[in-house]
Amino acid sequence: MDIALQINGTTEHLDVSPGVTLLDALRERLGITGPKKGCDRGQCGACTVHIGGRTALSCLTLAATVRQPITTVEGLSTHDQLHPVQRAFADQDALQCGFCTPGQIMSAVAATAQGIDDPDEVREFMSGNLCRCSAYPNIVAAVRSAGSEERRTDATV
Amino acid sequence: MRPFELTVPATVDEAVAGGHTFLAGGTTLVDLMKLDVVAPQRVADITALPFHGISTEDGLRIGALERMSDVAAHPGVPAAVTRALLLSASQQLRNMATIGGNLMQRTRCGYFRDITMPCNKRRPGSGCAALEGNNRMHAVLGTSRHCVATHASDLAVALVALDAELRITGPDGGRTVPLTDFYRTPGERPDIENDLGSGDLVTEIVIPYPELAANSTYVKIRDRQSYEFALCSVAAALDVRDGVVAEARIAAGGVGTIPWRLPGVEAALRGEPATEAAFTAAAEIATHGTTPLAHNGFKVPLLKRTLVRALLELTGGDER
Amino acid sequence: MTARPDAPLKVTGSATYALDNLVDRAAHGFLLLSTVAHGEVASMDVDAVRSAPGVLGVYTPFEPLALHPVTSPLLGPMWLPLQDTNVTHHGQPIGFVVAETFEQARDAAGLAAVTYEERQAATSFADGLASAVDAQPAASEAPPSLSVLADGVASIEDALDASDVTIDATYETAPQNHAAMEPHSAVAVWADGELTVYTGNQASHLVAADLAGALGLPADAVQVRNPVVGGAFGGKATSMPAVLAAAAARELGRPVKAALTREQVFTATANRPATVQRIALGARRDGTLAAVRHDSWSSATPDLGFIEPTSHGTSREWYRTENLAISQKAVPLNIPPATFMRAPGEGPGSFALESAIDELAVALAMDPIALRTRNNSTAPPGEDLQWSSKHLDECFEVGAARFGWERRSPDGRVEGDWLVGMGTATAMFPGLRFPATVGVTLHADDTATVAASGADPGTGLLGVLGIVGAESLDLDRDRITPLLGDSRLPPGGLSGGSTATASAGSATMVAAGTVIEQLLALATAPDGPFHGREVGYADGSVHALDDTDRAPMTFGEVLRSTGRDSLGATGTTAPGEEMAKHSFGSWGAQFCEVRVHRLTREIRVSRLLGVFDAGRIINPQAARSQLMGGMIWGVSAALHEGIEFGADGRVTNRDLADYLLPVNADIPDVDVRFVEHPDTLLSDLGARGLGEIGLVGMAAAVANAVHNATGVRVRRIPIRLEDLLED
């Protein structure tokens, strides 16, 4: 079936069978490979994207059912400027192999947008993103430092 | 995944007429379709249907298509429901899954999820591999020799405790069903899980007792701290007056083939002092009729202890 | 600058893991696995598969892909899929379906009808213990059984009998899966008879050699690329999907992608074995160890291909004792293959040994740290070679102070509804090196590259090459480009054995020294800018030592003035005579605090501290991350992960909802400290490995903390809350 997806500010038209997931549509049809297939079952979070501004698992979303704009990790940075969360992940060494990182970052962006800062709340919010390298404490540090930076920026604007 | 037709019905009549399998958040259905556990030929994306909104007039009424995260964030929702929602899955999944879909989610039994294995729920008459298999996660209440799979929903446990009702619409019109009557234990027919007929659609969830629900909680015990189904959970609402239990509503999850209401415990608590000793005595009743398997016998003591912990939490006796 | 040169790529989603390589006309392959544990595939009806939409090729034992036997220098004979009808375990690859799209390949594979001639399968480790066989522990040259006895002592039993205090207990550890977040996968592309394969692995040159062998190609006709790898941990030393993708791509005349599903990873790759270990310790009243007996059993495949070396990896070396006896046996089973997994031997072995030491401390009513300190060794028992640089006492001293160990009571403490306990354990991992070659190239634009084939699957080697390269060339780090993950680069930097930093790092130093010598030779050659001068190299420039007024020239200027774009050299290092002079190992002290709910008994880790003696620390931030990750792996082993088999040999928890890894909420802040004593006896670099030691001992520290909190000694991991429920 013919569908149109708004991805990172661009409208993409494609022809997919109804069973194609958003993850496979992004990766295999549109060449957007930031979202990763770590489990394909909604059990790891590596495929996390934003749909309509909210986090969602693209592996459990049928592409043909998506009607709201999609943001992937590729859509966060603009003009070669890293998003504050991306910069915080690099600075805090919140990644090792990096395979889960695009999904972690999409969840982290949602966490900072919601103003989540308490360490236990950050841990809970980020628990839908597995990291086998186990960078968890650094991920918590990255979310908190990016969040405080965003709040500082908001305060000065 | 087998080939299927995807439609987006514009009206409720269109949706319930077509012999469709309904797709809302997709977190159960898409998963199981990819595993070939279910293979519907016609799938209807119902997310555009008008089953939205949360209202606190005339009891708490929640549209079945409200997302778990939105329901959890609503101030009018009782603590047991909010906590059950927030202790479910992950924030990503809670953004996707609807509460109607949550109540319809299928068991996480690993034998159900693997089409190469026998499973009476998936393929009636093929047998139950869990009976003699690895069954640590399986049920100790409501089982039969045909199925021991645990019901997976946390939300349903809280709603069963709070006497919630479902509004259902279907080809033959609408009806209201108490959630305590909605789910079916497996018995001889594990494939029949609830009261829905073909084309029936849950449209709204109603919680009629917000007063009692005001002092409610949900305690979930699992191997990891988050993002996991329950080993055991307890939803409880308690009305304590002058140190004595006036009224109680209690249901358990992770231990039953359906969300397990515990009326015997409720009755035993009424008129008793709100003390750990009285709670422990009443909790003993929760274990009546349990049928442990080879690997899940621990769920019997765990159920008692989780129950006591939930009740202590409601009476200020538990430090979290 | 961040700890990782590839961090900018990784945080923007632009790092290209194997399946991120977008190749025109790539077809998609999907594996089909056996559903019995032992027997023969009798028939495979694949007509429906073949006629399903989009299907391009169907390969089975009856219509196999042509492959040649191949032996890996590291792992021995490589199992090649579809070459015969034998089934040795449930979930073994028996078919490969290639189609235009992923969905078509997956859905077509589901249409195959397979019949088997089943044979009796041995699947129970517990049942097989009684008939276990002696087996050679992996990565060890020592015999399966060995003992060291003091003069006049006839047997280890006599030594135990003569001890004032003894403990004797049996411990069990679960089999585990590496569960790297990137499932095993590959993209294979042929062009003009040459093969390029993108596949995550631990040493691209070794995987290229495997592929050349399996496909019957000259070694230089295969290129393997893995600039980033989505985790490996020992599980990606070989790449079976690469073999299938390459062979199918050759048959079909178009590129092929092959990826395992998460479920398939649990049975179509290889796992850490299950172990049972019996330990008896005998001590004098003052805590001095007099006898250590450590008998190990490992689950194994029928060919005894990999045996988890638990006794050899721990008790053989860790403590001073006059009497030592260790043994290794194996139980051959119809289960998925076994292989190295992060801290093989040391991981599960330390759970047993360090739990036993804690039990001995309880029996002696002695502080567990004092007991360990009393039995600190200066050399492995019965051996002359002393530890090159061992500061375990300092680790415990620093750790005890930081952790507040003096506040620990032998019976734990209670905080509200939570029982709180503290535990500790020793960590150790051998200091090893592998042969490594690294290339250093100076460029005319005054930048340099440091390159090796190997891999950085998140370990931080890329950053190490940059740092050591910058140091050795006396340049700023931003002028160094480290490169890894291409089999055509110099063969070094294999990710395994916690060797990469010491091996590739020291090879980088050699290469840099050589290229500087060549640069100076070039500068002073007859047509060079410093002809006839005494020259030296500093700060990226050539200086005239005999004419301080003469302006230095950067190496780029020297290259440009001599008409060169670049100047390169390789450096090679290998273990040498140092191995005959000392014993080498990294050491550490692990600390853990747990909280157990008094009613529901779930266990939560509330504090973690590791203090490590790993020689010189090259990249402190990445080193800390590596150790932190390892420590969390120890928590996972203690409380979360473990493969479960059904009686039919089927893995019953083969996805990430059922095979539990810790989530963020399970992990508290983790404190990692170093006592930094460069070990220049191992190599000029002074660094020892730290990729694996982080998890060693931690599972025991958790179990010891659980005992401290609850009084319950759990001798099996993962510990479940039911282990602590009384009724």
Q: What is the 3-state secondary structure (H, E, C) of B166-186?
A: EEEEECCEEEEEEHHHHECCC
**Domain B211-314 belongs to what topology?**
Enolase-like; domain 1 (3.30.390)
Amino acid C727: pLDDT: 67
Same-domain pairing of C78 and C189: yes
Same-domain pairing of C241 and C387: no
Identify whether C525 is part of a domain: yes
Which residues are C167's β-sheet partners?
Answer: C281
DSSP string, C377-441: -SS-TT----BSS--HHHHHHHHHHHHTGGG--TT-EEETTEEEEEEEEEEEEE-----EEEEEE
Mean pLDDT, residues A59-63: 98
Give the DSSP H/E element, type plus range, for residue B312: helix B299-314
**Which of B223, B255, B312, B319 to probe by mutation at the C interface, max C CB count within 10 Å?**
B223
How far is it, in rounded angstroms, from Cα C46 to Cα A103? 38
Identify whether C65 is part of a domain: yes
Q: Are B272 and B282 in contact (CB under 8 A)?
A: yes
Which residue in this structure is represented by tokens 């514009």?
B10
Q: Is there a shared CATH topology between the A2-75 domain and the A84-156 domain? A: no
Same-domain pairing of C348 and C426: yes
Domain boundary assignment for chain B: 5-44, 54-105+150-210, 211-314
Question: What's phi and psi for B239, nearest 5 deg?
Answer: -115, 110
How far, CA to CA in Å, does B130 sit from each of B113, C125, C126, C315, C644?
A: 12, 20, 21, 40, 14
Amino acid B209: pLDDT: 76
DSSP tag of B267: H
Cα distance from C161 to chain A (closest Cα, Å)?
Answer: 44
Q: Are C586 and C689 in contact (CB under 8 A)?
A: yes
Mode of pairing for the β-strands spanning A48-51 and B201-207: unpaired
CATH class of A84-156: mainly alpha
Give the DSSP H/E element, type plus range, for residue C126: helix C125-128
Mode of pairing for the β-strands spanning C535-538 and C76-77: unpaired
How far is it, in rounded angstroms, from Cα C547 to Cα C110? 78
Q: Beta-carbon neighbour count of residue C98 at 10 Å?
A: 28
Measured between CB atoms, which of C600, C664, C666 is closest to B302? Answer: C600
Measured between CB atoms, which of C7, C11, C628 is closest to A134? Answer: C628
DSSP tag of C578: G
Cα Rg of chain C (Å, integer): 27
Give the DSSP H/E element, type plus range, for residue C692: none
**Confidence band of A155 (pLDDT split at 50, 70, 90):** confident
How far is it, in rounded angstroms, from Cα C561 to Cα B70? 69
CATH number at residue C60: 3.90.1170.50
For B285-294, letters b (16+ CB in 10 Å) and e give bbbeebebbe
Domain B54-105+150-210: give its CATH architecture. 2-Layer Sandwich (3.30)
Does the beta-carbon distance from B301 to C599 stay under 8 Å?
A: no
Q: Which two tokens stand for residue C594?
A: 């747990």
Which is nearest to C563 in space by CA: C526, C517, C527? Answer: C527
Ramachandran region, residue B285 (left: φ > 0; alpha: ψ -120 to 50; beta: rest):
alpha
Amino acid at B147: C
> Residue C711 burial (CB < 10 Å; 0-12/13-18/19+)?
middle
Q: Which two tokens stand for residue B79?
A: 């603590």
> Residue C524 burial (CB < 10 Å; 0-12/13-18/19+)?
middle
Query: Positive or negative CA dihedral for B8, B14, B18, B19?
Result: positive
Question: Which residues on B lie below 8 Å from C600 (Cβ)?
Answer: 219, 221, 232, 302, 305-306, 309
Q: Which two tokens stand for residue C383?
A: 């051996």
Amino acid at C562: T
Domain boundary assignment for chain A: 2-75, 84-156
Q: Beta-carbon neighbour count of residue B211 at 10 Å?
A: 11
Q: Is C582 on the interface with A (CB under 8 A)?
A: no
**Domain A2-75 belongs to what topology?**
Ubiquitin-like (UB roll) (3.10.20)
Q: What is the domain range of residue C111?
A: 7-11+24-120+184-259
Q: Are C601 and C419 in contact (CB under 8 A)?
A: no
Same-domain pairing of C455 and C530: yes
**Whether residue C183 has a cis bond before it, omega within 30° of 0:** no
Instruction: Name the strands in the sheet holding B260-261, side by side, starting at the edge strand that comes first in the sequence.
Output: B216-221, B232-241, B244-253, B260-261
Same-domain pairing of C308 and C452: no
Same-domain pairing of C343 and C478: no
**Which of A15, A65, A116, A129 to probe by mutation at the B interface, max B CB count within 10 Å?**
A65
Cα distance from C723 to chain B (closest Cα, Å)?
Answer: 9
How far is it, in rounded angstroms, from Cα C35 to Cα B220? 35
Looking at every residue in chain A, the average pLDDT score rounds to 96
Catalytic-role residue among C406, C557, C692, C722: C692
Question: What's phi and psi for C602, nearest 5 deg?
Answer: -70, 150
In the predicted structure, residue B320 carries a pLDDT above the cut 50: no
Same-domain pairing of C167 and C202: no
Is C692 known to be catalytic?
A: yes
How far is it, in rounded angstroms, from Cα B125 to Cα B145? 12
pLDDT (tens digit per residue) in C290-318: 999 999 999 999 999 999 999 999 999 99
SS3 B110: coil
Residue segments in chain C with a per-residue pLDDT below the cut of 50:
none
Measured between CB atoms, which of C182, C626, C665 is closest to A99? Answer: C182
Instruction: Name the strands in the sheet holding C86-87, side by side, starting at the edge strand that comes first in the sequence.
Output: C86-87, C39-45, C113-118
Q: Is A124 on the interface with B (CB under 8 A)?
A: yes
How far is it, in rounded angstroms, from Cα C421 to Cα C595? 7
Identify whether C139 is part of a domain: no
| Rounded-to-10 torsion of CA C482, C483, C484, C486 | -170
How far is it, in rounded angstroms, from Cα C624 to Cα C305? 34
Q: Are B185 and B257 in contact (CB under 8 A)?
A: yes
**Confidence band of A152 (pLDDT split at 50, 70, 90):** confident
DSSP tag of A29: I
Residue C126 C-alpha from the chain's centroid: 27
Answer with the one of C199, C233, C259 that is the final residue of a domain. C259
Q: Are C232 and C494 in contact (CB under 8 A)?
A: no
